[in-house]
Structure 1
Amino acid sequence: MTTISILVSVAGILSVTAQAETPVERGHYLVEGVLTCGNCHSPRGPGGVIDSTKLYSGGPQTWDEPTFTVRGANITPDAASGIGKWSDDDIKKALSEGIRPSGGPLAPIMPYGFYKIFTTGDLEAIVAYLRSVPAVSNAVQPPIYKAALHVDTPPGADKPMTEADLRDPVRHGFYLVTVAHCMECHTPRVNDRLDFANLGKGGQTFRGPWGETMSRNITSHPEKGIGAWSDDDIKRAITQGIRKDGSHLKPPMGFAWYARMTDADLGDIVAYLRTVPARE
């Protein structure tokens, strides 16, 4: 077989492989892996374990903030208590703009400021997957809004990324880190707004069944951050919650969800994190 024939054969295999992933499969990978949607939108049983029989039917946690009080919504196709009556465009608008079909806002605890970067294909895949999950009847208390809402969008993430951008490992890593809203937790807040001048520095405090934990510095700083960590150290922290020194990280970081990500995607995330300016 000639070199040209081999290349043509390999290209054909890659094409078939790429075509084999349906929108529902891509949406499943995003929703149940990268985006960790179930972390906030699923009920939990004893010990905080997610109830797999009622996935996406509404979370148990209530966020009582100065500007809003909300719980994770029912995002199953249930017509009465979920999003079964929403159109595809309604769901896409909620994801990328934080606007309900009624025209009202979503609370920014839903990180739609980080979702403006979604490609058209990924938005459609998420919708396709959410249409496919079992409908669960579970009425969640309606949101209460107390003041004007502020939405944070990371620099460079204010518009959809192109497919061409995603072919670059660092740009693709930035895309994945953004839609996974990593910097929502790993960036300090000043006056309840994310301080993107210190992107990745950490410092936010989170309280839950695990006790109290503080988000870590994930910049390239060699001592305060992860600059001295190997690629495998970083991947292990993301997917298993284990630091370089072998100690364990605490929730709410969704290690079990991120463990479903491909090694290639994790590699691109690492490539991007290496470029985040060191902060201490």
Structure 2
Amino acid sequence: MIPSYKRSPRSIPFVSRPHWSRCLIAICATLCITGAQATPSDPERGRYLVEALMACDNCHTPRTSDGYVHAKRFSGGTQLFSDKDYSVRGSNISPDLETGVGAWSDAELGAAIISGVNPKGRLAPVMPSESYRALTPSDLDAVVAFLRSIPAVKSTLPPQERHGALEPRRATPGAERPFSEKDLADPIKRGLYVASLSRCMSCHSSDVDGAPDPVGHLGQGGRIFRTPAGVAVASNITSHPTKGVGAWSVDQLKRAITQGTDRDGRPLAPTMANLSKAHFSRMTEEDLDALIAWLRTVPPE
């Protein structure tokens, strides 16, 4: 029980009116600042970003032929990514204190997402931080809040092997820095935002020196993906009427993105088909419409 205390009016120190006014201003300012800092992030918004657009499970959750192993969600992926500079699997991003990111600060987790660095140094460039630089501050906070809210899962993964410089990759033009809430009110800018977070051009831009080049070869396709199901080649998704998707209807594009089928309804290669069904099928209509509107603006090549 908390004891209560009574004080007589005479025991309250006298404060002159000007001084008291200044105190009130200071108190109000402090409350306003504290309130602004204490505004809770929206983990449900973070869930949508992680599950529908950023598709974090694709690298960070183990899987079998039947799909993701949800009991070990975000404990680390099974796919090995390697080239001349590194060999790595998707790390444990659950809030486990020892093997995950539970001991990281929010700032450290945010830096890993948008800058590709963790407390020990730079991450391998397969971590698509260049695509996540576009995150609005509130959306980045929401992603961090969601990752804090999921169950902690302990895992043991081989350490990342580095053999050379780990240079960050190039962002999609126009998505090199954080968007604002005002940007998202513009359908075309919102479409670019969705495309960046969904890494559309990381897959569909041609390679230059072993990395996708969204600046010089935006959406031109040609990247090769070797998966357990076979070899897939990324399609041209520019607005070219024959090489690209310029002649596709809105409904055809929507089915390709959310159902993983081509213009004629045939299944796309597993990489895109898997992402479509597991993640992009969850896109809101607003985001899907904006994405297609932006794709219409990609120069034909």
Using structure 2 for the length normalisation, give the TM-score. Answer: 0.83
Alignment of 1:170-209 (within 5 A): 170-195=188-213, 196-209=215-228
Q: Which residue of 2 aligns with 1:141?
A: 158
Distance 1:204 1:232, change over 3 A: same
Task: Tell me the alpha carbon deviations over residues 68-108 of structure 1, each in whole angstroms, 9 at most, x when there is no partner.
Answer: 11000000001111001011111101111111123x01111
Aligned length: 257
Shift of 1:247: 1.3
Whether the 8 Å contact between 2:232 and 2:269 is mirrored in structure 1 is yes
Q: Please, what is the CA RMSD of the aligned residues? A: 1.3
Q: Which amino acid in the other structure matches residue 85 of structure 1?
A: A
Paired residue for 2:296?
274
Take 1:137 and 1:194, find their aligned partners in 2: how far apart are those partners? Answer: 33
Structure 2: runs of 5+ lacking an equivalent: 1-39
Q: Secondary structure at the match of 2:88?
A: strand
Q: Percent identity of the aligned residues?
A: 45
Match of 1:3 in 2: none
Contiguous gaps of at least 5 residues in structure 1: 1-20
Say whether 1:211 aligns with 2:240: no
C-alpha distance in 1 between matches for 2:253 and 2:229:
22
Q: Which residue of 2 aligns with 1:119?
A: 136
Separation (CA, whole Å) in 1 of partners of 2:211 and 2:90: 21
- Give the counterpart letter for 1:74 in structure 2: N
Distance (Å, rounded) in 1 between the aligned partners of 2:141 and 2:240 = 37
Q: Distance in 1 between matches of 2:188 and 2:110?
A: 26
Preserved CA contact (<8 Å) 1:220 1:227: yes
Query: 2:247 is matched with which residue?
Result: 228
Q: CA deviation at 1:22?
A: 6.5
Is the Cα contact below 8 Å between 1:62 and 1:69 reproduced in 2?
yes
Which aligned segments of 4 or more residues in structure 1 are displaced greater than 2 angstroms? 193-196
Q: Deviations over 1:237-279 (max 9, x none)?
A: 0111111111110122201210011111100000000000001
Is residue 41–residue 138 contact of structure 2 (8 Å, CA) maintained in 1? no
Task: Tell me the CA shift for residue 194 of structure 1.
Answer: 2.4
The whole-number CA distance in structure 2 between the counterparts of 1:209 and 1:51 is 17
Shift of 1:193: 2.9
How far did residue 113 of structure 1 move? 1.2
How far apart, in 1, do the equivalents of 2:286 and 2:115 lie?
Answer: 29
Residue 238, structure 1, aligned to residue 257, structure 2: yes
What is the CA–CA distance in structure 2 between the aligned matches of 1:201 and 1:157, rounded to whole Å? 18
State the 1:150 CA deviation.
2.0
Q: Which has the higher contact order (CA 8 A, sep 6+)?
A: 1
Secondary structure in structure 1 of the residue aligned to 2:232: strand
Cα separation, 2, equivalents of 1:194 and 1:241: 22
Match of 2:28 in 1: none
Partner of 1:131: 148
Shift of 1:180: 1.0
Contact 1:48 1:209 in 2 (8 A): no
Partner residue in 2 for 1:158: 176
Partner of 2:79: 61
Question: Alpha-carbon deviations, 1:110-154, whole Å to 9, x = none?
Answer: 100111111001100000000111111112111111111222222
Deviation at 1:48, TM superposition (A): 5.4
Larger Rg: 2
Match of 2:58 among 15, 39, 43: 39
Instruction: Give the secondary-structure state (helix, strand or coil) at the position aligned to 1:64.
Output: strand
